[in-house]
Amino acid sequence: MALLEVRNLKKIYTTRLGGNKVQALDNVNFTVEQGEYVAIMGESGSGKTTLLNIMASLDRPTAGVVTLAGKNMADIRQKELCAFRRDNLGFVFQDFNLLDTLSLKDNILLPLVLAGCDWHSMEERVKPLAAKLDIADLLEKYPYEVSGGQKQRTAVARALITRPQLVLADEPTGALDSKASDKLLRIFARVNEDGQTILMVTHSIQAASRAGRVMFIKDGCVFNQIYRGRLSDEEMYRKISDTLTILHTEKTDTAED
């Protein structure tokens, strides 16, 4: 059974002024198996964030079904959604979303505190995770005292501390320089090798080329998918570049017709 199943997904927004309708997603279908590392790419406005928000159960689709670990998200009652998200999903955002008033350690532990976890098991979880993410010496510091890369690795630790079924990352390298990006992507690869399923929206070819599969969204539909198979990161990079060129060319051709 697939970990995530997306079937006939549609999202139509109705704008506040004038009641105009915007079709953000149009019949999207795909599955993600346990342990996969999938990147989602597409031009601005193609529907990536809408898709991620629906999978994060932060928004409801207009039509279609999203099933996570066999559970239809539409069946989860509003008051259970927070707990469902906390128990099943980890989130990594472009701008880290850390609380400046908490130390890095307390930021990481926050989901466990909210889940009512006992102190001993929190301590047991945070140490090996911090070591894996190379932030073990920084745990008593505050977000404003550390670098962007260190902040993002803290955010990854916070996403992983609950041992979620699925990590959803929205432009995780978007605010990082190339060195910090590279370090984060190496960590994502290692976390995935250890069995964690990751779904990452990105504009960065560099970032996407580290994934096992790249899914391209165009005008609210899945336009194409590339599977790594035996390809190296460099070969993946070239294939992604070529696909983006086709995606862009088709748009330009249509615009010029």
Ligand X SMILES: Nc1ncnc2c1ncn2[C@@H]1O[C@H](COP(=O)(O)OP(=O)(O)OP(=O)(O)O)[C@@H](O)[C@H]1O
Footprint of ligand X on this chain (CB under 6 A)? 13, 15, 22, 24, 42, 44-50
- C-beta of 126 vs 171, nearer to ligand X: 171
Report the residue number, 44 or 254, with the smaller CB distance to ligand X: 44
Q: Are 46 and 40 in contact (CB under 8 A)?
A: no
Q: Using DSSP, state whether 7 is helix, strand or coil.
A: strand
- 45 vs 128, beta carbon nearer ligand X: 45
Q: Residue 103 CB, nearest distance to ligand X (Å)?
A: 31
| Nearest-5° Cα angle at 58, 54 to 62 | 45
Helices (H) and strands (E) in the chain, counts: 8, 10
Q: Between residues 58 and 82, which has the closer beta carbon with respect to ligand X? A: 58
Beta strands, E only, 69-211: 71-72, 89-92, 166-170, 197-201
Question: Min. distance of Cβ 194 from ligand X in angstroms?
Answer: 29
Sheet with 197-201: list strands edge to edge. Answer: 89-92, 166-170, 197-201, 37-41, 213-218, 221-227
| Min separation Cβ 246 and ligand X, Å | 18
Least distance from C-beta 253 to ligand X, angstroms?
Answer: 20
Residue 106 tokens, joined = 């307390």
Give dist(CA 25, CA 111) in Å, integer.
Answer: 31
Minimum Å distance from CB 25 to ligand X?
8
- The nearer residue to ligand X, 28 or 157, going by C-beta atoms, is 28
